[in-house]
Structure 1
């Protein structure tokens, strides 16, 4: 009984090693066999011979149902991808003449982003001739950094970027 699979690099007849270490369905080591003998044992049980590890000498092969094995590998990969969190860059914008309540709202917003594991880019926007008040914007950014010091690390100090001043905060890993 020959089965067709799209990835046949390490199953059944495509195994080109002279000797393999054989493991049965229950995970018990059967010993070292020639590839042909191991394949005959697998086929006699109606299952496939699959290379599990080609790094060892001799390579480790297991007698399993390849379709089920492939399904479980894909399921593991999907679970690992779910648990992975890609930190993105969120932005909080404000003017240098911000009111106290609005300031607290922006700080809480940045705190929420940091707690969810994202980096935060804090931008102070200038219009027209307001650019001459750079020192006030830098003081504001330093105040934000001080307010968020328990939850963040400064990744980029305040820098001028055109008519804006930006600072980037990264989440603090405790």
Structure 2
């Protein structure tokens, strides 16, 4: 059925009933009477195929119709293959996500971004845990920083109801560069004492400049734990 639709998409030979047409091919174009164009097609053993009916005059090619349809199908297939379907992958955190769970989700986020997908990470706050939203913001900022090599921040952490969202888009292939933090980690593995000092200073400078958010997050964790236990009682 699909092939039939393509065959019926173009008028050929005697189906073309205008007075004159424009013949295109090999960088040339010529306006001739339709009867003459049909004779030319007959002499060459090909078809007169109308490829642009709305032009004035309509544009045609002298080509075997089966070959023409094959070229069109091939072109459509190539265009479809080039189309990249971008999906939005979600990563969910709790305000007290432990380190193991964090690293697990970080690994998946890297894979999503490398595949060309976007990432929407969010922290879900239950009950009165919304009072400690700073902790969720710190978590998302750390997440964005750890993914600096793979994605760019489209939208900084923002609270929407009981969820705080962070949006990341993949970096284009071939332009991703190692972040300063990644280079510092490599220096740490080498064990150079001087590099260790530089790495610590760089990490301190890269930390979010929000008046000690990381320190607040640590304090909030204990308070949040007590609050959750009181709710359960």
Structure richer in helix, relative to its length: 2
For structure 1, which segment, 49-58 or 95-104, has the greater mean C-alpha deviation from structure 2 after superposition? 49-58
Alignment-derived partner of residue 153 in structure 1 = 152
Counterparts of 1:78 and 1:35, CA distance in 2: 32
- In the other structure, the counterpart of 1:67 is 66
Report the Cα distance in structure 1 between the residues aligned to 2:109 and 2:27, rounded to whole angstroms: 54
Q: Is the strand fraction higher in 1 or 2?
A: 1
Aligned position for 1:12: 13
**Count of matched residue pairs:** 167
Residues 31-40 or 125-134, more deviating: 31-40
Q: 1:38-77 counterparts in 2 under 5 A?
A: 38-52=37-51, 60-77=59-76
Q: 1:28-80: per-residue Cα shift (whole Å, max 9, x none)?
A: 86955321111122134442101345788765532211122112201211121
Of structures 1 and 2, the one scoring higher in RCO (CA 8 A, sep 6+) is: 1
After superposition, the Cα gap between the structure-2 partners of 1:157 and 1:28, relative to the gap in structure 1 and judged at 3 Å, is closer
- Larger Rg belongs to: 2
* TM-score using structure 1 length: 0.81
Give the Å deviation of 1:91. 0.5
How far apart are residue 118 of structure 1 and its match? 0.5
Matching of residues 1-174 of structure 1 within 5 Å: 5-8=7-10, 10-16=11-17, 18-22=19-23, 27=26, 32-52=31-51, 60-173=59-172, 174=175
Is 114-123 or 155-164 further displaced after alignment?
155-164
Q: Which moved more, 1:77-86 or 1:50-59?
A: 50-59
Unaligned runs of 5+ in 1: none
